[in-house]
Amino acid sequence: MFDLPDFDAHEGVHAFHDQDSGLRCIIAIHSTALGPSAGGTRMWNYSSGAEMVTDALRLSQGMSYKNAMAGIPHGGGKAVIWGNSKTDKSEAMFLALGRAVESLQGRYYTAEDVGIDTADIEIAARETKYAAGLTFGAAASGDPSPVTGKGVFLGIKQASLRAFGTDDLSGRTVAVQGVGSVGGYACQHLADAGAKLVICDMDQEALTRVAARCDAKIVGIDEIYDVEADVFSPNALGAVINPDTLKRLKVKVIAGGANNQLATPEMGELVRQSGIIYAPDYVINGGGIINVASEISGAYSKTWVYDKLATLMDTLGEVLDVSLSQGKPTNVVADEIAMARIAAGPQEAH
């Protein structure tokens, strides 16, 4: 463990096995310096236990950075379950997950992530107090996507201010990749602000709905990179910013809600050199975790959530300004600010 390249002084890496349900789960707690760790549970059919450990280590570190930037009183943690999310789930498995989370006595809060839905976490919540993203309970926060989508819209404004000298989006063309939950909400805000939208998705129903509501033009999935636009907003998959797509993009801003947009961290510098302003994914998409944090606090408050979102957008502006003034890629600047906040301790989180 201690020799693994992705081990970054994690506070705890806990492996759980449940004989009856077959649960194989790792809960990695990267840091509790800013408060109890928080991050979703991912279910994935890993090819090996080593791959699973690496994923848990990376994702939990990523949550430390994301939570620090979001200014919420939480450190970073993540649970990963080894299995096929379509065929291997059972009630017993999620009850066992709940017991595993409970055994950490509040050092880790869980919620949904890839392969896991609200119903799974609600089963786990029968065994643990440390689960969020629920539809029941006094502080239930529900779907985080509206907050994430609003953050994407506000983040596009922050980046546009730096790229074009104004954050007025009327008449700007935004190419939106993926118009599901987050992309759909972002499109609505963009259309309301007068932006022209060009959208793509493989889900015909989502496409038709958003196109009708936002007067958007539809293009094919692979054509989105070639659109003559001011802004590219990825809201579907990871690794969409790679050397091939970067060559094709004609935009001045990349700002969207998808996780892990850069194929490699080095892409951040290549994007900067090509004169494009990139809003780091884990900063611009922090609205969802802010929403979950409000639920964890025990008293959900929409006002608190949107105040925190506004502060997060100021932080995004700071990242972009430092990047421009120091000639450093935005993803590197964001990591540096996050690490400084974690090192400084809780006062920075409020």
Q: What are the residue numbers of the active site?
A: 78
Work out which of 11, 127, 201, 230 binds ligand NAD, going by CB under 6 A.
Answer: 201
253, 232 contact by CB (below 8 A): yes
Work out which of 4, 50, 119, 221 binds ligand NAD, going by CB under 6 A.
Answer: 221
- What is the pairing mode between strands 75-82 and 41-44? parallel
Q: Which two tokens stand for residue 231?
A: 């802004």
Residues 237 and 322: their CA atoms lie apart, in Å, by 27
Element (H, E) at 234: strand 231-234
Residue 58 CB coordination number (10 Å): 17
Quote the least distance from Cβ 332 to ligand NAD, whole Å: 21
Work out which of 43, 175, 182, 216 binds ligand NAD, going by CB under 6 A.
Answer: 182
Does position 206 interact with ligand NAD (CB under 6 A)? The reply is: yes
- Please, which of residues 86-105 interact with ligand NAD by CB under 6 A? none
Residues 93 and 31: their CA atoms lie apart, in Å, by 26
Residue 259 CB coordination number (10 Å): 16
Does position 198 interact with ligand NAD (CB under 6 A)? The reply is: no
Does position 180 interact with ligand NAD (CB under 6 A)? The reply is: yes
Of the listed pieces 1-9, 37-45, 115-123, 172-180, which binds ligand NAD according to CB under 6 A?
172-180
Work out which of 4, 119, 140, 202 binds ligand NAD, going by CB under 6 A.
Answer: 202
SS3 278: strand
User: How many residues lie near ligand NAD (CB under 6 A)?
Assistant: 24
Looking at beta carbons only, is 95 or 293 nearer to ligand NAD? Answer: 293
Greatest extent of the chain over all pairs of C-alpha atoms, in Å: 60
Give the distance, in angstroms, between the CA of residue 248 and the centroid of all CA atoms in the same chain. 25
- Please, which of residues 275-294 interact with ligand NAD by CB under 6 A? 285, 288
Does position 259 interact with ligand NAD (CB under 6 A)? The reply is: yes
Which residue is at the shortest CB distance from ligand NAD?
180
What one-letter code names the amino acid at 6? D
Looking at beta carbons only, is 71 or 183 nearer to ligand NAD? Answer: 183
Of the listed pieces 78-86, 115-123, 166-174, 256-264, which binds ligand NAD according to CB under 6 A?
256-264
Of the listed pieces 119-127, 199-207, 208-216, 334-342, which binds ligand NAD according to CB under 6 A?
199-207
Quote the least distance from Cβ 234 to ligand NAD, whole Å: 8
Give the distance, in angstroms, between the CA of residue 39 and the centroid of all CA atoms in the same chain. 10
- Please, which of residues 224-243 interact with ligand NAD by CB under 6 A? 235-237
Looking at beta carbons only, is 221 or 339 nearer to ligand NAD? Answer: 221
Exposed / middle / buried, residue 194 (Cβ in 10 Å: 0-12, 13-18, 19+): exposed
Percentages (nearest 5) of helix, strand, coil residues in the chain: 45, 15, 40
Return the exposure string of 100-111: e unless at least 16 CB atoms fall within 10 Å of the residue's CB, then b. bbbebeebbbbb
Residues 91 and 99: their CA atoms lie apart, in Å, by 13
Does position 145 interact with ligand NAD (CB under 6 A)? The reply is: yes
Looking at beta carbons only, is 37 or 177 nearer to ligand NAD? Answer: 177
Name the CA dihedral angle for 223, 228, 229, 233, rounded to a multiple of 10 degrees.
20
Looking at beta carbons only, is 257 or 280 nearer to ligand NAD? Answer: 257
- Please, which of residues 287-326 interact with ligand NAD by CB under 6 A? 288
The contact set with ligand NAD (CB under 6 A) reads 144-145, 148, 177-183, 200-203, 206, 221, 235-237, 257-259, 285, 288
